[in-house]
Structure 1
Amino acid sequence: MSIPNTLRLYQSESCFISSPLTVMIMDGDNKYLLKFKGYNFARLFVDINFLKNLDDFETRDDDVFVITYPKSGTIWTQQILSLIYYEGHRNRTEIVNTADRSPFLEYNLHKIDFEKRPSPRLFASHVPYYLAPKGLKNKKAKVCRTNSS
């Protein structure tokens, strides 16, 4: 009996767990992963055209970026910063998802127009330094970084 790829977690040494319910095997198959400039992205959630232009993403001086390794407190940090920056959420007069308050730069799941977002804008990202927008490196935008334990 053949075991489907999504159930072969213990048979393969190279696997990628994207969520508690989805296991994707990385055995040379590019069905689930997109390798862009040496970094792997989940193919289903990323826009290759946005990645190609990420270097030119227009940052503002009051932008706040949460740049982290996966599984190192990203969502927790996003929650804390959004409570600080968005008074309406703190007072529970406005219920907004974390992904909308502090969307992932490389995974724009809700197709938010980043240019039209009011300042200060909060973003989260797992991209390495060499893929980060060059404006982030040159401007006064704030970068919050977490360390994995």
Structure 2
Amino acid sequence: MERLPLKSVKGVPMLKYFADIMEEVDKFQAHPDDLLISTYPKSGTTWICEVVDMIYKEGNVEACREKPIYLRVPFLERSFPGSDAGFKLLQKTPRPCVIKTHLPVQLLPKSFWEKNCKMIYLARNAKDVAVSYYFFYQMAKVHPEPGTWNEFLEKFMAGDVAFGSWYDHVKDWWDKREEQRMLYLFYEDMKEDPQQEIQKVMEFLERPIDEQLVEKITHYTSFKEMRQNHMTNYTCLPSTFMDHSISPFMRKGVAGDWKNHFTVAQNEFFDADYKRQMVGSTLQFWMEM
């Protein structure tokens, strides 16, 4: 896999292969009953996708392990050489279905808004996202070379990474919740009380709350279980795409790991920039638990 430079799509840096199909993605027609799962990369995407799939399959573990998560919840804008693009995979998928995206608000196909689709957005604190994204950049070879940790952190703060600014992403989706059927969740809340957050998802999806089912889903979607599950840990993909010997796709799954990577100077600089970029927003994140 050649590490190509990012390509701008309406001002948003995108992976080259993804950017090349965005005109087709923009024409995608959502079904009114489709469920969209949206996240900024490395914010617990696979976790919430597995939770939703288990809810829809009523906790049937065997059914959830028939296919990898990226086939059960197709990735709308995904594009790699030698495989079907995400939107093409969705065209073959029985509808309605669950769809994953990392697109910022302004790049999401208009049909999702027009059809008033239900949406779940999962957000994670910026510092942990930056660290996780750095390791992901290294192992997922569709990304450009990340450089040093300090170089990557500067790119992250400037929004010069795939899918653009974390700040714009989380804020714009937060603002959209006022006008859309949207459940906005936080990674740190899911770590603190997964059963409570899973119940929120079930209520949002209008599924009856069954305590035993909630406990079962909580267990099978725990980091420990998902990390050793080949249908969720992305080890099904060839190492030419994702090299788990560099860093596993499911690395730590904790809140607060940023403290092991940020220097004092980096943290102070980041905090000052964070305050500037989040001014005026009502969004609040736990930076540690």
TM-score by length of 2: 0.37
Query: RMSD over aligned Cα, in angstroms?
Result: 2.3
Give the one of 78, 95, 118 matched to 1:119.
95
Q: Which runs of 5+ in 1 are unaligned?
A: 1-21, 25-30
Amino acid at match of 2:102: H
More helix by share: 2
Cα distance in 2 for partners of 1:145, 1:113 equals 22
Q: Between 103-112 and 139-148, report the one with greater CA deviation.
A: 103-112
Larger Cα-atom Rg: 2
Partner of 2:253: none
SS in 2 for 1:46: helix
CA distance in 1, matches of 2:91, 2:68: 19
Distance 2:116 2:57 in 1: 20
Shift of 1:90: 2.1
Give the 3-state SS of the residue equivalent to 1:82 in structure 2: helix
> Secondary structure of 1:103's partner?
coil
Counterparts of 1:34 and 1:78 in 2: how far apart (Å)?
27
More contact order relative to length (CA 8 Å, sep ≥ 6): 1
Work out whether 1:73 is the aligned partner of 2:35.
no
The residue identity in structure 2 corresponding to 1:70 is P
Residue 126 (structure 1) shift: 0.8
Aligned ranges 1:1-149 → 2 under 5 Å: 31-43=4-16, 45-46=17-18, 48=20, 50-87=21-58, 90-93=60-63, 94-109=65-80, 110-111=83-84, 112-149=88-125
Partner Cα separation in structure 2 for residue 36 and residue 59 of structure 1: 21
- Structure 2, unmatched stretches of 5+, are 126-289
2: CA distance, partners of 1:91 / 1:36: 39
TM-score (norm 1): 0.69
Q: Which amino acid aligns with 1:90?
A: N
Richer in strand (by share): 1
Counterpart contact for 1:47–1:107, Cα < 8 Å: no
Q: How many residues align?
A: 118
**C-alpha contact 1:54 1:131 (8 A) present in aligned 2:** no
Structure 1 distance, partners of 2:76, 2:46, is 14
